[in-house]
Amino acid sequence: MKAITIEKYGKRVPFVMTEQPMPDIGEQDVLVEIHAASLNPIDYKIKQGKAKILLNYKFPLILGNDFSGVVVKVGRRVNTFKPGDEVYGRPRKNRIGTLAEFIAVHEEDLWLKPQNLTFEEAASIPLIGLTTYQAFVDILNLQKGQKILIHAGSGGVGTFAIQLAKLMGAFVATTASEKGDELVKSLGADLIINYKKENFEEILTGYDAVFDTLGGEALEKSFRILKPGGQIVSISGLPNARFGKETKAGWLKTAIFSIASRKIKAQEKKSQTRYHFLFMKPSGEQLKVIKEFMEGGLIRPVIDKVYPLKDTEQAFHYLESGRAKGKVIISIKGA
C-alpha cells in the first residue's frame, strides 16, 4: 500500500511516499481502506519529536491520527462491523498511521460514519470531536449558563468546541483574528476577542472554564480570568503530576511532569482553580454520540483545505503556519 512515511524525528525531515506492507489484523481489529485523513497539531509535534515523553515510535513512521473510510475485512471476534461499512475513527496512540491507503484499527476505536457527511468531512471530526467531548463532558462537566473561554476559536479544535459548548448551553467567549471573526460568529460564539488588538485577560472575569489549545503565555494568563473553583483544560500545556497518576505513567514520568509543571501548580493554588492536561483517548462509544450530533445538524464540520496524499508536506506547512480556519484534510482514496 502507499503511505507517507518519515525516517526520523525532525522539523525538516522530508515526507516520503513509500510502499508499505498491508497491515495485519488481530481478532478484534477492523481493516479499513482509508478515503480521507485529517491533520492535527499533534502530527507535527510527533514529527518534530516534541511528544517523545508521551509518544515514542519506531521508524519508518506513518503519521496521521484520524480518518474515514470503508471496512474491507474484520477479525474473527468482531461483531460490530462488516465489510462495506463506512466508518470514521481515531486509532489508539501506539497504532497511528492514517496517512496511508489502509489501516488496522481496534473495533472499539471507530464507529459508523455520519451519513450526512462526505468522507472528507467525516475525517475532520474524530480527534477534535473526541478531544472536545472529553474536555467538556468527562472533565469540566460543563453546565448550562456557565461561561467558558475557548482559545483559537477558528482553529480545528476551536470550531468544534464552540459548537459543542453552545449545544451544552454555555456562554462562549473566544479569541480570533479579524479573518476568523465571521466564522466563529457563525458557529455561535457570544463574545469574540481580537487577540491582535485586545488582551483577553483584561476583558474577561469570573469565568467557570477555559479550554486552552495554545499553551504558553495564553495558558498562564488564562488563570486570571477564572473565578475560584474554575477549571482549565489544556491540550497544549504541560502534563502535571495529576495527569501522570491518572494515566499510570510511572513514578519517573510523574515526577518529571510534577517538576516541569511547578509554575502551573503555583498558579492553581494562587487562583484557587484546577488545571487539567488532556491527552485524548480513542472511543467508538463517544464517536457514536458525536455521529448523532452531526446527523442532527447540531454541529457542522469546518474544513479549510483538502490536499491529495502526494502533497502532504505542503499540507503540513500550511497547518503549521497557523492560518488554517478549520481543518486541513488529506484525500487518500485513489492516491
Q: Say yes or no to pLDDT of 54 above 90.
A: no
Confidence class for position 330, pLDDT limits 50, 70, 90: very high
Per-residue pLDDT tens over the stretch 245-267: 988 889 999 999 999 899 999 99
Q: Say yes or no to pLDDT of 283 above 80.
A: yes
Per-residue pLDDT tens over the stretch 72-129: 999 999 999 999 999 999 999 999 999 999 999 999 999 999 999 999 999 999 999 9
What is the distance of C-alpha 19 from the center of its chain? 28
Per-residue pLDDT tens over the stretch 148-173: 999 999 999 999 999 999 999 999 99
Give CATH superfamily name and number for 2-125+301-331: Medium-chain alcohol dehydrogenases, catalytic domain (3.90.180.10)
Q: Where in the chain is the domain with CATH 3.40.50.720?
A: 128-277
What's the pLDDT score for residue 64? 97
Q: CA–CA separation, 33 vs 25, rounded Å? A: 13
Per-residue pLDDT tens over the stretch 9-38: 999 999 999 999 999 999 999 999 999 999
- Residue 276 · residue 239 · CB < 8 Å: no
Query: Element (H or E) spanning 242, and its range?
Result: helix 241-246
What's the pLDDT score for residue 52? 87
What's the pLDDT score for residue 333? 85
Environment class of 56 (CB within 10 Å of its CB; exposed 0-12, middle 13-18, buried 19+) = exposed
Beta strands 327-331; 303-308: pairing state: parallel
Q: How much is the pTM?
A: 0.96
Per-residue pLDDT tens over the stretch 266-278: 999 999 999 999 9
What's the pLDDT score for residue 334? 64
Query: Element (H or E) spanning 37, and its range?
Result: strand 29-39
| Sheet strands side by side (includes 16-19) | 16-19, 2-6, 61-62
Q: Where in the chain is the domain with CATH 3.90.180.10?
A: 2-125+301-331
Q: Say yes or no to pLDDT of 305 above 80.
A: yes
- Residue 209 · residue 142 · CB < 8 Å: yes
Cβ-Cβ contacts under 8 Å for 279 (sequence gap 6 or more): 54, 235, 239, 243, 247
Query: Element (H or E) spanning 221, and its range?
Result: helix 216-222
Confidence class for position 198, pLDDT limits 50, 70, 90: very high
Q: CA–CA separation, 140 vs 137, rounded Å? A: 6
- Report the chain's mean pLDDT, rounded to a whole number: 96
- Residue 151 · residue 215 · CB < 8 Å: no
Q: Say yes or no to pLDDT of 53 above 90.
A: no
- For domain 128-277, the CATH class is alpha beta
Q: Give the rounded percent of residues in the chain with a pLDDT score beyond 70.
A: 99
Q: Say yes or no to pLDDT of 335 above 70.
A: no
